Amino acid sequence: MKIHKEGKKIIPVAVLIIIVLDLLIWFLLKQFLISYILIAASVVLAGLVVYFFRVPERKTGLNAKHVIAPADGKVVEIKEVFEKEYFNDNRIQVSIFMSPLNVHQNRAPVSGEVSYLKHHRGAFYPAFVEKSSELNERCSTVFKTTAGTEVLSRQIAGTVARRICFYVKPGDKIIQGDEYGFIRFGSRVDLFLPLSAQVKVQLGDKPVGGETVIAEI
Q: What fold, for 66-216?
A: Glucose Permease (Domain IIA) (2.70.70)
Rounded to the nearest 10°, the torsion over CA 48, 54, 60, 66 is: 50
Domain boundaries, the chain: 2-55, 66-216
Q: Which residues are catalytic?
A: 187
148/130: higher pLDDT: 148
Q: For 191-206, how does the pLDDT look when each residue is reduced to its tens digit (9 = 90+)?
A: 999 999 999 999 999 9
- Which of the two residues, 13 and 184, has the higher pLDDT score? 13
pLDDT tens for 31-80 read: 677 777 888 888 888 888 787 788 888 889 899 999 999 999 999 999 99
Model confidence at 180, pLDDT cuts 50, 70, 90, reads very high
Tell me what pLDDT residue 201 has. Answer: 96
Q: Which residue has the higher pLDDT, 152 or 101?
A: 152
pLDDT, residue 135, reads 67
Residue scoring higher pLDDT (5 or 143): 143
Percent of residues, the chain, with pLDDT higher than 90: 51
